[in-house]
Amino acid sequence: MNQKKTLKDQSKAIFYASTLDMSWRLAIVFLVPFFLGFFIDNHFKTSPLWTLVGLVIGIILSVVVVLQSFKKINHRLEKSDQIKHNQVEGSKEKNDT
């Protein structure tokens, strides 16, 4: 029972850490190109050209960040499952002896 609670807590910790990491990364990769395009448009009076270019770049980079985050989450969960599997195998071996 205690082991199940520990694994559940580990899964929650992985989720919260991954969500926080993805949130600030998404904010940066989306907002920086968008506002950079906005400021370029204001300076050169080319509105909305560079704002739209920044928007498209921000969307593309956001997709990349989300895919990288999912890959990282899956890797962490697989690692957690391997640890869980090894613990279960270890406890079975102790019970057999």
Amino acid letter for position 60 = I
Q: Are 33 and 87 in contact (CB under 8 A)?
A: no
Q: Are 19 and 73 in contact (CB under 8 A)?
A: no
Rounded Cα distance, 60 and 47, in Å: 21
Helix or strand or coil: residue 80?
helix
pTM (whole model) above 0.85: no
Please determine, for residue 52, whether its predicted confidence score (pLDDT) is greater than 70.
yes
Rounded Cα distance, 32 and 58, in Å: 8
Where do the DSSP E strands lie in 22-65?
A: none
Residue 38 banded pLDDT, cuts 50, 70, 90: very high
pLDDT tens for 69-89 read: 999 888 888 887 777 777 767
Please determine, for residue 95, whether its predicted confidence score (pLDDT) is greater than 70.
no
